Amino acid sequence: MTAVLYRLVYMSRNDITDEIDTQIDGILKTSRENNRLAEVTGALMFNTGCFAQVLEGPHNAIQATFERIQCDERHSDVTVLLFEPSNKRSFSSWAMAYVGAQESALERFGNLGDESGFEFTALDGDDIYNVLLDNLHDAEAQ
Amino acid sequence: MIDSVPQLEALATGIAIINGDNVIVHANTAFARRLNVDALPYRLTDIDLPEARSRDLLEWQLRDIGESALTVAIAPGRSLTFYIGAQREGQRLIIAASGWPHRDESTRDLAAQLDPLTGFGNRLMYAERLREFEAMGTKAAAVLIIDLDHFKQVNDTLGHGTGDELLGLVAQRIRASTRGNDTLIRLGGDEFVVLIPEEKHCEGLEALAGRLVNLLGRPFLVNGHQINIGASIGVATLVGDSDQLQDLLRHADLALYEAKHRGRAGHYVFQSPLEQRAFDRREFEVDLRRALGLRQFTLHYQPQTSIADRRVTGFEALIRWEHPTRGRVSPLDFIPLAEEIGEIAAIGRWVIRCACEEAMAWQDERLSVAVNVSPAQFADDTIVDAVRDALDHSGLAPARLELEITEGLFLEESESIMRRLWAIKELGVAVAIDDFGTGYASLGYLNSFPFSKIKIDKSFIQAEPSPRAKALISGILAMGSNLGMATTAEGIETLEQYTQLEHDGCSLAQGYYIARPMPAGQIADFLERFCPPTARAS
Ligand SMILES: Cc1cc2nc3c(=O)[nH]c(=O)nc-3n(C[C@H](O)[C@H](O)[C@H](O)COP(=O)(O)O)c2cc1C
């Protein structure tokens, strides 16, 4: 019997002010490693204002990952939008994308999606993801 | 890499060196094999022990930087003893051996001091740590007491199992924010304590408390549920006096109570009564400095009546401070402070100006308005300017304004004060003596200035009627009439007092018996309905 899959969707405020490139890079690297070991998949979207993350995996793996993320000082005001069992994974691996319109940031992060294998098609058709994208656009810091 | 110092490799005893973070930096083969350590660096507390409790015990034992030993079970019927050397320059020796000749007593003690749910210590451990601190003569320590908000609801709605798991996660978050040498305690229920064994600046403690409040306020995921709780934290510190160690927890508890009182999800640092008083005073001072700007002052007016003519002659303006959280603050409390911090000049200027403006609205142009002036306002010439400005600005006839000063002004003979009084007199404004008979000034001053009135202090009026008290009052009244000054009796509360004063020839009356102070808006109505006291009585 395979463990029940859970899906978590949360948003938080991006508190990174310095060296955002390296910080984001670091998050991507550790997440990729840790999540693979824990059988957690999902996606992290961000812009200069906020983070939005989807995590999929066994309950306790999600819990443990979330606890680690919660203690991270690089973000705050964490709001959970969804936490429930789900019957399939929307993301087959761990992906990350910059979601914003800021020109300067686009240049810096725009190619992250290609690098990490983020496919926006994974988000198609699910209301929660559309809400996420709307929120992300609203929260982009000037 | 596992080290290979040949002599050590030959030993059957497991030997390792760990650093300050409990990470194994060297280990011989016997150690690695016995504990299944395959590569370094490896955290000693991550080793695989069959009982989770053993790992907690080991972790606790390592928090103590002195020498100790710990025996734990590694398989049914088999135990392993760690000999833990004292820490030196961030490093310490660990020897792992089976069949250590004696099982250390302290191991059992320690087990009794642990909370199985969280791996934190319990009350016993707290007491034990305090004993150690006392024995060492610790001079600096701090306690944070953390109390979860809404935890009971979690237990009630999601069950104790979920509640317990949540407590485990809470403990983890607390552990993640604290440091290795902090002692973490679960006092029971949903109360946790962080005991910090060193001096930490208050800002550091507040930052920690703030971070914990923030962290514990973030959502938890337990058993498929999202749970939001929060935490309130009380902080207490000990600085320089180990006698007070026993009070730390109580102080933190008081601070916690205050934190909750101020609205949950916050922290509060305990302050000794002395500090508290200084703090309160400071807040009071800040509030007072803002009061004018925030328009928190108003004037109320108490009528003064002529006893012989049975009519209202004027009103005394009395300042009121209505503060949004303190409520009404008595002038007896704030005027002395205003004098001390130099706010009195600005407040006094406002009072004179407001009184003149409001008096302009009164129908009867004979009505006077009396304003209290503190001796502190006479310290410089600004009092004269304040009066002149108020008159100019409002257009009030100078003769309608009267300043009430107290005898205190004449404690020292001062030429500049007399000069200011005369300057005010020259503007056409009257000056009365207030609270007469309570100061210790020599009566000589009565001769040096043409005061308009003597206001007899209410303590004489309200004194038990005795022949001596009567003699005092009639003496003052006679003195007034001989000097050509009117006399006002203040604080009249009964008909008896009123009729007696009438009989003795007092000119003016003021007090609750005639009317209480009233807001400016009620004056017109009052004047319309006014009916003199003796007419009421008969
Ligand atoms: C918005 C955000 C999302 C993160 N997502 C993950 C994640 O999915 N997986 C992960 O392991 N770490 C994630 N991290 C990093 C963790 O907070 C933490 O730094 C990291 O797990 C520490 O890993 P380590 O102990 O292996 O160094 C995230 C951090 C941020 C700020």
Residue B366 covered by a domain: yes
Same structural domain, B125 and B80? no
List chain B residues with CB under 8 Å of A6: 224
**A46-87 per-position pLDDT tens digit:** 888 889 999 999 999 999 999 999 999 899 888 888 898 988
List chain B residues with CB under 8 Å of A66: 221
* Section B434-457 average pLDDT: 86
Between these two residues, A139 and B174, which has the higher pLDDT value? B174
Same structural domain, B154 and B104? no
Interface mutation vs chain A, best among B169, B170, B218, B223, most A CBs within 10 Å? B218
Same structural domain, B31 and B71? yes
* B131, burial (CB in 10 Å: exposed 0-12, middle 13-18, buried 19+): exposed
Q: What is the pLDDT of residue B363?
A: 86
Same structural domain, B101 and B138? no
Residue B288 covered by a domain: no
Q: Highest mean pLDDT: which of B198-212, B218-232, B247-261, B266-280?
A: B218-232
Same structural domain, B74 and B130? no
Whether the bond into B450 is cis, omega within 30 of 0? no
* Section B134-143 average pLDDT: 85
Of the candidates A66, A71, A85, the beta carbon closest to that of B224 is on A85
Strand boundaries in B327-429, DSSP class E: 327-329, 368-372, 401-406
The DSSP code sequence of B36-104 is: T--SSSEEGGGS--SSHHHHHHHHHHHHS-S-EEEEEEEETTEEEEEEEPPPBTTBEEEEEEES-SS--
pLDDT for B52 beyond 80: no
**B494-505 per-position pLDDT tens digit:** 999 999 999 999
Q: What is the pLDDT of residue B358?
A: 96
3-class secondary-structure state, position B178: coil
List chain A residues with CB under 8 Å of B219: 10, 78-80
By percentage, how much of chain B surpasses pLDDT 70?
93
Same structural domain, B417 and B311? yes
Residues 210-269 in B contacting A (C-alpha not used; CB under 8 Å): 214-215, 218-219, 221-226
List chain B residues with CB under 8 Å of A70: 173, 215, 218
Same structural domain, B441 and B340? yes
By percentage, how much of chain A surpasses pLDDT 90?
25
Of the candidates A62, A70, A79, the beta carbon closest to that of B215 is on A70
* Section B311-316 average pLDDT: 96
Q: How far apart are CA B503 and CA B311, in angstroms?
A: 17
3-class secondary-structure state, position B458: helix
Residue B291 covered by a domain: no
Among B90, B114, B138, identify where a domain stops: B114
pLDDT for A141 beyond 90: no
pLDDT for A16 beyond 80: yes
Q: Is B161 within 8 Å of chain A by CB?
A: no
Indicate the number of domains in chain B. Answer: 3
Mean residue pLDDT of chain B comes to 87
Q: How far apart are CA A42 and CA A51, in angstroms?
A: 13
The residue whose CA is least distant from atom 4 of ligand 1 is A69
**CB B221 to CB A8 under 8 A?**
yes
* A55, burial (CB in 10 Å: exposed 0-12, middle 13-18, buried 19+): buried
Residue B59 covered by a domain: yes
Ligand 1 pocket, residue A31 CB under 6 Å: yes
Domain with residue B470: its CATH number is: 3.20.20.450
The partner residues of A44 in beta bridges, in order of sequence, read A53, A96
List chain A residues with CB under 8 Å of B176: 71
Q: How confident is the model at residue A129 (pLDDT cuts 50, 70, 90)?
A: confident
Residue B503 covered by a domain: yes
Q: How far apart are CA A90 and CA A123, in angstroms?
A: 8
Residue B10 covered by a domain: yes
Ligand 1, residue A34: give the atom nearest the CA.
Answer: 11
The partner residues of A83 in beta bridges, in order of sequence, read A8
* Section B70-78 average pLDDT: 73
Q: What is the pLDDT of residue B535?
A: 58
Q: What is the pLDDT of residue B501?
A: 92
Domain with residue B125: its CATH number is: 3.30.70.270
Q: What is the pLDDT of residue B452?
A: 94
The DSSP code sequence of B255-304 is: HHHHHHHT-SS-EEE---HHHHHHHHHHHHHHHHHHHTTTT-EEEEEEEE
Q: What is the 3-state secondary structure (H, E, C) of B305-343?
A: EECCCCEEEEEEEEEEEEECCCEEECHHHHHHHHHHHCC
Q: What is the pLDDT of residue B101?
A: 45
Residue B68 covered by a domain: yes
Encoding tokens for residue B145? Answer: 């007491």
Q: How confident is the model at residue B102 (pLDDT cuts 50, 70, 90)?
A: very low
**CB B219 to CB A79 under 8 A?**
yes
Same structural domain, B328 and B463? yes
Of the candidates B173, B214, B221, the beta carbon closest to that of A63 is on B221
Residue B283 covered by a domain: no
Q: Is B207 within 8 Å of chain A by CB?
A: no
Same structural domain, B47 and B178? no
Q: How far apart are CA B422 and CA B424, in angstroms?
A: 5
Shortest distance, CA B138 to any CA of chain A (angstroms): 32
Query: pTM score, two decimals?
Result: 0.54
Walk me through the domains of chain A, giving residue ranges and CATH numbers.
Answer: 5-141 (3.30.70.100)
Same structural domain, B170 and B101? no
pLDDT for B99 beyond 70: no
Expressed as residue numbers, the domain containing B70 is 1-114
Domain with residue B76: its CATH number is: 3.30.450.20
Of the candidates B173, B214, B219, the beta carbon closest to that of A80 is on B219
Same structural domain, B353 and B460? yes
Same structural domain, B109 and B138? no
Between these two residues, B239 and B285, which has the higher pLDDT value? B285
For residues B443 and B414, the answer to whether their CB atoms sit within 8 Å is: no
